[in-house]
């Protein structure tokens, strides 16, 4: 049940797998160690401090394994709900494999699982997030784009009472297309790539204005935005109108996801949104439950933006209050299935997490955000760029019960599919004219699969 193309691996020097396994992951781990040392210097009891020293020692061991390309050992039983899934996969497929010759996707996920283990077996630091400071800091430096959106969207969405039904639908369509792009490009600021970005660079990645969006649509190389609208406009007629977001990054991206989800609720296109996050820190910036709760709290009560005007802060406050209310009313629901923090690709979702597959199959639309989810959907293998998205995602498209799926992803790694019949030529030309195009986040795909009724 695998695709016919080879999965990327760390020793493939031509791919981003190599740079990631060789240097990006050790850098990320080094920063995590620095963060924990900062915490170690805080005012804690001796018991807590010595417990944290042991976490740091374990991170040191992980660094030795990673830089020495050690064999992948089983995960220690730390009572996490995913241990069995991890060790089954290691035993079945990766016995004797090391960080470089195991598939990149698996080896990279394994590193984040081992990092979690450094803390999960401690007494006091089980929930410590080595990436929290970075997530918080980048969001605080995203003020311009944050207020641009809050100023526009704090006011409840309403359409002129004089509109004909056609005009009403047309305004909804335009708003939908704009906000889908806001949600899409919100993915370009993921922290695993943005280490040491200046405020100016963050700004240019996050500008959300209308003209900018028209220009960036040209960079959506596989573009199913119109097909997506054709599907979404039918949701109102369905019983429920449930949309699921398989989230990617916390902070600014999550904020954009919420602005989008807010519009889906207010317009009546959806009646319920289910957000799927991670159970612990993952790929640096991914959303955990703490990040999910942090965002509206900081919007309503926090003081993260010292230079903002009272009027701006008021808009943020209104948005955050509305979002909290959605959660209270059950219109927004946060979930964290253990499967999302494993090394499995989504080709295995129906087999390894049948309960989750069944749950998703009841949704009217499942939106997968970001690069990692896209790699998992497509098995992170060397499929040609002309491969249709349905084919590339295999069982997530053709298993009985597969839901309608859309991937909103800025391209930050090797696998690129869904570029249409001329896709191989498009990719070849970009390889020549813009060698880093697959990792820059400048290009994107919006790809839809209609799924298969159960
Ligand atoms: O480390 C590589 C990677 O998995 C890439 O896929 C991407 O550059 C990044 O990490 C995560 O991106 P995202 O947050 O969009 O999933
Ligand atoms: Mg991410």
Q: What is the mean pLDDT for each group of 10 consecutive residues in the chain (454 residues)?
A: 94 94 96 98 97 98 97 97 97 94 98 98 98 94 92 90 90 94 86 54 60 82 98 86 97 96 96 98 97 98 95 97 98 98 98 98 97 98 98 98 98 97 98 95 96 92
Residue 111: enclosing H or E segment and its boundaries? helix 104-120
Q: Give me the torsion for CA of 61, 62, 65, 70, rounded to 10°.
A: 120
Tell which atom from ligand 1 comes closest to the C-alpha of 374.
Answer: 16
Question: Which pLDDT belongs to residue 198?
Answer: 62
Residue nearest to atom 1 of ligand 1 (CA): 20
Q: Is 371 in the pocket of ligand 1 (CB under 6 A)?
A: yes
Question: Which pLDDT belongs to residue 211?
Answer: 63
Longest dimension (CA), the chain: 69
Check the CA dihedral 143-145-147-153 and report its sign.
negative
For ligand 2, the distance from its centroid to the CA atom of residue 204, given in whole angstroms, is 19
Question: Which pLDDT belongs to residue 251?
Answer: 95
Nearest ligand for residue 187 CA: 1
Alpha carbon distance 350, 385 (integer Å): 25
Q: Is 372 in the pocket of ligand 1 (CB under 6 A)?
A: yes
Q: Is 249 in the pocket of ligand 1 (CB under 6 A)?
A: yes
ipTM over the 0.85 cut-off: yes
For ligand 1, the distance from its centroid to the CA atom of residue 372, given in whole angstroms, is 5
Which residue in 431, 434, 432, 408 sits closest to 187, CA to CA? 408
Tell which atom from ligand 1 comes closest to the C-alpha of 16.
Answer: 2
Q: Is 192 in the pocket of ligand 1 (CB under 6 A)?
A: yes
Q: Which value, in Å, is the radius of gyration of the alpha carbons in the chain?
A: 22
Question: Which pLDDT belongs to residue 238?
Answer: 73
Question: Which pLDDT belongs to residue 236?
Answer: 87
- Measured in residues, the chain has a length of 454
| Residues near ion ligand 2 (Cβ under 5 Å) | 190, 248-249, 283, 286
For ligand 1, the distance from its centroid to the CA atom of residue 283, given in whole angstroms, is 7
Q: Is 370 in the pocket of ligand 1 (CB under 6 A)?
A: yes
Nearest ligand for residue 287 CA: 2
For ligand 2, the distance from its centroid to the CA atom of residue 373, given in whole angstroms, is 8
Which residue in 390, 337, 394, 397 sits closest to 361, CA to CA? 397
Put simply, whether the predicted model's pTM sits higher than 0.80 gets the answer yes
Tell which atom from ligand 1 comes closest to the C-alpha of 187.
Answer: 15
For ligand 2, the distance from its centroid to the CA atom of residue 102, given in whole angstroms, is 21
For ligand 2, the distance from its centroid to the CA atom of residue 108, given in whole angstroms, is 12
Q: Is 414 in the pocket of ligand 1 (CB under 6 A)?
A: no
Q: Is 413 in the pocket of ligand 1 (CB under 6 A)?
A: yes
Nearest ligand for residue 369 CA: 1
Which residue in 299, 445, 301 sits closest to 386, CA to CA? 445
């Amino acid at each position: 049940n695998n695709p016919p193309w080879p999965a990327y691996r760390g020793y493939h020097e031509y791919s981003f797998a190599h740079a990631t396994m060789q240097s990006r992951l050790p850098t990320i781990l080094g920063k995590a160690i620095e963060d924990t040392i900062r915490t170690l210097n805080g005012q804690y009891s001796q018991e807590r401090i010595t417990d944290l020293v042991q976490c740091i020692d374990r991170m040191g061991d992980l660094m030795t394994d990673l830089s020495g390309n050690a064999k992948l050992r089983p995960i220690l039983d730390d009572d996490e709900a995913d241990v069995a899934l991890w060790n089954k996969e290691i035993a079945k497929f990766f016995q004797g494999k090391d960080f470089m010759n195991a598939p990149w996707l698996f080896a990279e996920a394994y590193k984040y699982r081992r990092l979690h283990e450094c803390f999960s077996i401690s007494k006091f630091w089980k929930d410590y997030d080595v990436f929290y400071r970075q997530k918080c800091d980048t969001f605080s430096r995203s003020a311009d784009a944050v207020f641009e959106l809050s100023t526009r969207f704090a006011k409840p969405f309403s359409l002129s009472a004089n509109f004909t039904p056609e005009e009403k639908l047309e305004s909804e369509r335009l708003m939908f297309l704009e906000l889908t792009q806001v949600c899409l490009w919100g993915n370009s600021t993921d922290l695993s790539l943005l280490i040491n970005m200046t405020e100016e660079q963050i700004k240019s990645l996050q500008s959300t204005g209308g003209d900018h969006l028209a220009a960036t649509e040209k960079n959506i190389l596989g573009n199913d935005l119109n097909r997506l609208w054709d599907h979404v406009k039918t949701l109102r007629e369905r019983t429920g109108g449930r949309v699921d977001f398989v989230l990617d990054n916390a902070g600014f991206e999550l904020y954009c996801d919420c602005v989008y989800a807010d519009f889906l609720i207010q317009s009546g296109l959806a009646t319920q949104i289910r957000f799927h996050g991670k159970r612990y820190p993952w790929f640096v910036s991914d959303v955990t439950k703490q990040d999910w709760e942090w965002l509206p709290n900081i919007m309503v009560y926090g003081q993260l933006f010292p230079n903002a005007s009272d009027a701006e802060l008021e808009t943020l406050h209104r948005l955050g209050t509305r979002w909290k209310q959605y959660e209270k009313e059950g219109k927004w629901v946060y979930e964290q299935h253990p499967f999302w923090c494993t090394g499995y690709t989504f080709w295995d979702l129906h087999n390894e997490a049948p309960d989750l597959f069944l749950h998703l199959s009841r949704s009217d639309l499942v939106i997968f955000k970001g690069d990692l989810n896209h790699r998992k959907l497509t098995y992170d293998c060397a499929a040609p760029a002309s491969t249709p998205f349905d084919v590339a995602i295999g069982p997530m498209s053709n298993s009985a019960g597969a839901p309608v799926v859309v991937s909103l992803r800025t391209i930050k790694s090797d696998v690129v599919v869904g570029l249409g019949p001329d896709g191989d030529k498009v990719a070849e030309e970009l390889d020549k004219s813009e060698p880093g195009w697959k990792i820059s986040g400048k290009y994107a795909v919006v790809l839809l699969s209609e799924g298969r009724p159960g």
